[in-house]
């Protein structure tokens, strides 16, 4: 306790330096936490799960994937052909309808990317939404929206950012002019929004409404079948209990004679995500192995500088302490303690600040990488801030503390004399 | 903010250089005094300079990366070229122009003609999955490869102003060649021409056996083969495509590529007009008056310039990181300079008594801070320059979802180094100003007691 009081007094003694060092630490810890939050999230997304695995089936060779809609029933059943075959726990299909809320204008404020799927799957298959606690307000709100979509085929759930961008509200009607489905314009009733998060910029519609509209288009007299009629299925999602089941389902699909033109491929969501992120490989590498070390090194240098200045100014004081009976380890502890306290407090304060500001003020960190547009600071960041502050403070103060504890009393007083 | 900074980089650099020069020339207190002080307090000086080095090295590499991407989007495309896509597509990848609609496009007005033959290239652009059975480092077992199926490669070379490296040739009109496989069997290989960047990228993912037989460990060369879409492909040439998006593409006979990957429509028609003005006129004509097909047109350079969204986002991120790190560095140099002032209180008193003015004291301390910044910044630029020649993969995209995977070569240029040194000097000024001002506020007699 005495040591702590002593450390606090020393920190207060040169308040300006302590504040500058703390501020330096805080701003640099902000960068570390922001970058780590992005890397941590991407690592989570590309890490293979061992249970409740999501698999995606897409066209084997081409991107964007476009498969015949007739593939859907068999793929959703995991291409089961024999009794011993494994059936997925759950499934859904995705078709993409891209349109604009203004005819002839296609801009950031008018574009709407809509996923056409089975409405009830929003609650059971969509990432992050399927894990919402059943008693959470977000889940209950979403359940209402899904129910509304099931009773009204024109129902549309829109992400919050997109809703704001197109200047609409829940309960309003919106007409969307088809771009990916040219000539097929759809009217929607906005029945709800997604909870804040990764679905902020997407919208979801009932697949039956889209496919019904395509059928209606094709039934018009004298009109050639719509170009999207043949191949409108983009992704089939499957949920399987474990890796063994995934391997079995993937093999069932690969060996099925039904999927030859075009061929399809099955992969885990993590593997598919990793392939998409491959384009950002060097960017992510740079963030992990170049940016992070550079920030940590700068942080260590800022702390080392402050502590070495402090040690240099207090050589006489350390000599007096030695005369008073303080052992070198005491002085070492004193200097390290000062640095550690500064590092820990400013690291933690920075982490708490960035967590609150980014998540609750800015609504996430907007940095689009692949199909991830918004990143959030995880709760673990508190620990990171504390650990980075402590580690850099220790590393930065080690040499100055060593110099402080090696102060020779005779030399110091000889100079004073 | 970043754009403002980069646009005014010359002015900012000029102001900082003039300030430094002014301080140097106008300094009455000898520079030797500052240098000696820095040497005496070499530990904090070195630590502060090292912090500058880390910040500036980081900035240099990040700027080199983004400027490489910007250069790529600006250098791709010929000003006289018009890019024609289907009416609803904003990107080649989503475009579908039926074969029945492209025939008449050679008759468009204002096209460059050679012996009556219009300079028009008919193409199918595809992004395809390439399986990578020998991939290392836990990377995914496939990559997205950009394939351009070309109807007439000689015409495409003319329209895109593309040349091959010596030793290569364009693919034949058949687009295939018989080669002898590893087990002595005859294989009909599809001929392909590769961009330099993708040739280097594909060379990385070869098996040890393939590498042992490779002509070069660093890149695929004419005669090398690769697998794609269950077929064997043979490289017949490497394009001189550096700093363009074509650097990341594989070109092959359209009928073969489209057939294998199941895309039977055209995605892109590139038509050459004499210059940028005629390209704009032709684009307007197609968009407003051409009714024979549901197509839209835009100058090719405009299309590639629109793919700047990723660059913009990266610039914002870089600016943020740089500013935050610079603030950290400024706090560091402030610490050093405040300590210098407090250690030299008596010196300051003596200097004032000797007749040096407050302005000269301020100049002297500011100069000291700038010297640290100069040394640290120069070391940072030198360290960052080591990235010159590195290859990096990235993506360029528009804000409407369109995008291309690219392989770019990092080039450290004077502008980047100038930006690095400007930031270093700015940090030096900001970090040194308050302590230097405090030094000027000391009263001579009080300072000596």
Q: Are strands B231-239 and B225-228 parallel, antiparallel or unpaired?
A: antiparallel
> Bridge-partner residues for B128, per DSSP?
A62, B145
B411 occurs within a structural domain: yes
Residue-wise pLDDT tens digits, A228-281:
888 899 999 999 999 999 999 999 999 999 998 888 999 999 888 888 888 788
Who has greater pLDDT, A66 or B15?
A66
pLDDT given for residue B9 in this prediction: 62
Nearest CA in chain A to B391: A282
B33: tokens are 């005094």
B285 occurs within a structural domain: no
Residues B256 and B365 in one domain: no
Range A110-115 average pLDDT: 91
CA distance A43 to chain B (A): 12
Of A302, A383, A395, A381, nearest to A340 by C-alpha is A395
Range A202-215 average pLDDT: 94
Q: Which member of A182, A295, A309 has the closest CB to residue B88?
A: A182
Residues B334 and B188 in one domain: no
Residues B255 and B315 in one domain: no
Range A345-356 average pLDDT: 95
pLDDT given for residue B8 in this prediction: 60
> Bridge-partner residues for B296, per DSSP?
B85
pLDDT given for residue B66 in this prediction: 85
B272, B295, B325: which is the final residue of a domain?
B272
Nearest CA in chain A to B340: A309
Residues 59-78 of B with CB under 8 A from A: 61-62, 65
CA distance A298 to chain B (A): 5
Give residue B164's Cα distance to chain centre.
23
Instruction: Determine if the peptide bond prior to A407 is cis (ω within 30°).
Output: no
Residues B212 and B266 in one domain: yes
Q: Which of A11, A22, A28, A234 best probes binding to B when mutated, by most B CB atoms within 10 angstroms?
A: A28
Residues B202 and B340 in one domain: no
Confidence band (pLDDT; 50, 70, 90) for A336?
very high
Contacts of A283 in chain B (CB under 8 A): 65, 314, 392, 394
B246, B272, B298: which is the final residue of a domain?
B272
Contacts of A25 in chain B (CB under 8 A): 328
CA distance A331 to chain B (A): 20
B220, B250, B272: which is the final residue of a domain?
B272
Q: Which member of B262, B331, B405 has the closest CB to residue A279?
A: B405
B325 occurs within a structural domain: yes
Contact call for residues A127 and A49 (beta carbons, < 8 A):
no
pLDDT given for residue B137 in this prediction: 65
B179 occurs within a structural domain: yes
Nearest CA in chain B to A273: B140
CA distance B52 to chain A (A): 8
A366: tokens are 């907007």
Of B159, B173, B148, B172, nearest to B266 by C-alpha is B148
CA distance B256 to chain A (A): 14
Contacts of B228 (CB under 8 A, 6+ apart): B128, B130, B145, B250
Residue-wise pLDDT tens digits, A82-93:
899 999 999 999
What whole-number distance in Å separates Cα of residue B172 and Cα of residue B192?
10
**What Rg, from alpha-carbon coordinates, does chain B have?**
29
pLDDT given for residue A69 in this prediction: 93
Contacts of A108 in chain B (CB under 8 A): 399-400
The number of folded domains in chain B is 2
What whole-number distance in Å separates Cα of residue A98 and Cα of residue B360?
66
Average confidence score pLDDT of chain A = 89
Q: φ, ψ for residue A190 (rounded to 5)?
A: -75, 115
CB contact under 8 A, B47 and A305: yes
Q: Which member of B141, B321, B328 has the closest CB to residue A24?
A: B328
Residues B86 and B64 in one domain: no
Contacts of B317 in chain A (CB under 8 A): 367
Contact call for residues A95 and A207 (beta carbons, < 8 A):
yes
Residues B331 and B378 in one domain: yes
pLDDT given for residue A264 in this prediction: 93
Q: Which member of B127, B263, B335 has the closest CB to residue A20?
A: B335
B358 occurs within a structural domain: yes
Contacts of A147 (CB under 8 A, 6+ apart): none
Q: Which member of A261, A275, A302 has the closest CB to residue B331?
A: A302
Q: Are strands A155-158 and A186-193 parallel, antiparallel or unpaired?
A: parallel
Its ipTM equals: 0.77
- pTM given for the model: 0.80
pLDDT given for residue A44 in this prediction: 87
Distance (Å) of CA B159 to CA B120, B132, B198, B246, B249: 7, 33, 21, 13, 16
Range A346-360 average pLDDT: 94
pLDDT given for residue A271 in this prediction: 86
B278 occurs within a structural domain: no
CB contact under 8 A, B58 and A291: yes
Residues B42 and B151 in one domain: no
CA distance A137 to chain B (A): 32
Contact call for residues B126 and B261 (beta carbons, < 8 A):
yes
B59 occurs within a structural domain: yes
Helix axes B414-440, B42-75, angle to 10 degrees: 140
Print pLDDT tens along chain B (449 aa).
Answer: 455 555 566 666 777 777 777 776 666 777 788 888 888 888 888 888 998 899 899 889 988 888 888 888 888 889 999 999 988 777 888 888 888 888 888 888 889 998 888 999 999 999 898 888 777 666 777 888 999 999 999 999 999 999 999 999 999 999 999 988 777 888 899 999 999 989 998 898 888 878 888 889 889 999 999 989 888 999 999 999 877 888 889 999 999 998 888 888 899 999 999 999 999 999 999 999 988 888 899 999 988 887 777 777 777 888 888 888 888 888 888 888 888 888 888 888 888 888 888 888 888 888 888 989 999 999 999 999 999 988 887 878 765 555 677 888 888 988 889 889 988 999 999 998 899 888 888 777 776 66
CA distance B101 to chain A (A): 14
pLDDT given for residue B10 in this prediction: 66
pLDDT given for residue A149 in this prediction: 94
Inter-chain contacts counted by CB atoms under 8 A, chains A and B = 171
Residues B102 and B242 in one domain: yes
> Bridge-partner residues for A369, per DSSP?
A372
Residues B36 and B139 in one domain: no
Q: Is the torsion defined by CA of A273, A275, A278, A280 positive or negative?
A: negative
- B70-102: burial string, b at 16+ Cβ within 10 Å, e else: bbbbeebbbbbbbbbbbebbbbbbbbbbeeebb
pLDDT given for residue B401 in this prediction: 56
A85 three-state secondary structure: coil
Residues B230 and B259 in one domain: yes
Residues B265 and B214 in one domain: yes
- Which structural domain, as residue segments, surrounds residue B87? 81-272
Instruction: Please state, for a pLDDT cut of 90, what percent of chain A lies above it.
Output: 51
């Amino acid at each position: 306790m005495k040591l702590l009081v002593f450390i606090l007094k020393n920190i207060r003694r040169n308040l300006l330096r302590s504040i500058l060092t703390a501020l330096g630490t805080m701003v640099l810890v902000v960068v570390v936490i922001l970058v780590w939050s992005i890397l941590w999230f991407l690592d989570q997304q590309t890490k293979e799960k061992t249970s409740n695995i999501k698999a995606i089936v897409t066209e084997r060779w081409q991107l964007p994937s476009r498969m015949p809609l007739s593939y859907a029933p068999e793929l959703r059943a995991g291409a089961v052909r024999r009794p011993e075959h494994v059936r997925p726990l759950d499934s859904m299909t995705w078709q993409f309808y891209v349109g604009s809320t203004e005819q002839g204008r296609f801009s950031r404020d008018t574009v709407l990317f809509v996923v056409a799927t089975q409405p009830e799957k929003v609650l059971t298959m969509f990432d992050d939404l399927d894990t919402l606690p059943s008693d959470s307000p977000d889940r209950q709100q979403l359940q209402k929206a899904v129910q509304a979509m099931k009773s009204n085929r024109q129902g549309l759930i829109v992400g919050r950012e997109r809703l704001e961008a197109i200047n609409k509200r829940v309960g309003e009607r919106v007409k969307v002019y088809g771009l990916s489905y040219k000539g097929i314009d759809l009217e929607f009733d906005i029945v709800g929004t997604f909870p804040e998060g990764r679905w902020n910029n997407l919208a979801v519609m009932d697949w039956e409404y889209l496919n019904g509209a395509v059928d209606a288009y094709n039934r018009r007299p004298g009109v050639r079948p719509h170009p999207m009629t043949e191949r409108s299925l983009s992704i089939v999602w499957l949920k399987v209990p474990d890796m063994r089941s995934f391997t079995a389902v993937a093999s069932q699909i690969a060996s099925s004679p039904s999927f030859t033109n075009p061929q399809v491929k099955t992969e885990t969501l993590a593997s598919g995500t990793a392939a998409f992120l491959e384009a950002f490989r060097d960017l992510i590498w740079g963030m992990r192995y170049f940016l992070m070390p550079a920030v940590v090194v700068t942080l260590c240098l800022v702390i080392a500088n402050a502590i070495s200045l402090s040690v240099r100014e207090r050589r006489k004081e350390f000599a007096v302490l030695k005369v008073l009976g303080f052992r070198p380890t005491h002085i070492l502890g004193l200097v390290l303690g000062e640095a550690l306290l500064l590092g820990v407090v400013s690291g933690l304060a920075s982490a708490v600040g960035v967590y609150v500001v980014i998540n609750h003020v800015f609504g996430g960190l907007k940095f689009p990488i692949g199909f991830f547009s918004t990143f959030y600071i995880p709760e673990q960041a508190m620990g990171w801030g504390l650990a980075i502050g402590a580690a850099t403070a220790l590393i930065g103060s080690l040499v100055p503390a060593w110099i402080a504890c090696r102060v020779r009393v005779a030399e110091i007083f000889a100079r004073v004399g | 903010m970043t754009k403002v900074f980069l646009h005014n980089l010359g002015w900012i650099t000029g102001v900082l250089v003039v300030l430094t020069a002014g301080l140097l020339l106008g300094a009455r207190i000898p520079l030797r005094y500052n240098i000696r002080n820095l040497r005496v307090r070499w530990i904090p000086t070195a630590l502060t300079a090292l912090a500058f080095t880390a910040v500036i090295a980081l900035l240099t590499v990040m700027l080199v990366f983004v400027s490489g991407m910007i250069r790529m989007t600006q250098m791709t495309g010929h000003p006289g070229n018009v890019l024609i896509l289907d009416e609803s597509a904003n990107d080649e990848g989503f475009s579908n122009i039926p074969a029945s609609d492209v025939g008449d496009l050679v008759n468009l007005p204002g096209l460059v003609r050679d012996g009556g033959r219009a300079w028009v290239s008919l193409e199918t652009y595809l992004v395809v999955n390439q399986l990578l059975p020998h991939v290392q480092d836990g990377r995914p077992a496939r990559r997205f490869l950009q394939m351009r199926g070309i109807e007439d490669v000689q015409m495409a070379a003319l329209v895109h102003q593309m040349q091959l490296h010596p030793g290569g040739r364009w693919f034949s009109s058949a687009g295939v060649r018989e080669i002898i496989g590893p087990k002595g069997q005859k294989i009909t290989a599809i001929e392909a021409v590769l961009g330099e960047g993708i040739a280097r990228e594909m060379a990385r993912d070869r098996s040890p056996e393939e590498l042992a037989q490779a002509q070069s460990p660093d890149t695929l060369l004419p005669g090398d083969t690769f697998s794609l879409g269950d077929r064997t492909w043979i490289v017949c040439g490497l394009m001189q495509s550096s700093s363009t998006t074509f650097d990341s593409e594989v070109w092959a006979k359209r009928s073969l590529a489209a057939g294998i990957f199941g895309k039977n429509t055209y995605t892109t028609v590139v038509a050459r007009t004499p210059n940028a003005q005629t390209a704009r006129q032709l684009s307007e004509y197609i968009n407003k008056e051409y009714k024979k097909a549901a197509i839209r047109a835009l100058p090719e350079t405009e299309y590639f310039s629109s793919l700047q969204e990723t660059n913009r986002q990266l610039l914002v991120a870089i600016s943020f990181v740089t500013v935050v790190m610079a603030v950290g560095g400024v706090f560091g140099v402030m610490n050093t300079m405040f300590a210098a002032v407090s250690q030299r209180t008596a010196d300051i008193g003596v200097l004032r008594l000797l007749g040096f003015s407050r302005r000269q004291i301020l100049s002297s301390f500011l100069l000291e801070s700038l010297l640290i910044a100069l040394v640290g910044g120069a070391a940072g630029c030198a360290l960052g320059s080591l990235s010159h020649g590195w290859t990096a993969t990235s993506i360029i995209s528009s804000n409407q979802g369109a995008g291309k995977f690219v392989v770019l070569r990092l080039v450290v240029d004077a502008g980047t180094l100038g930006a690095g040194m400007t930031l270093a000097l700015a940090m030096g000024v900001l970090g040194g100003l308050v302590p230097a001002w405090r030094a000027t506020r000391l009263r001579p007699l009080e300072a000596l007691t």
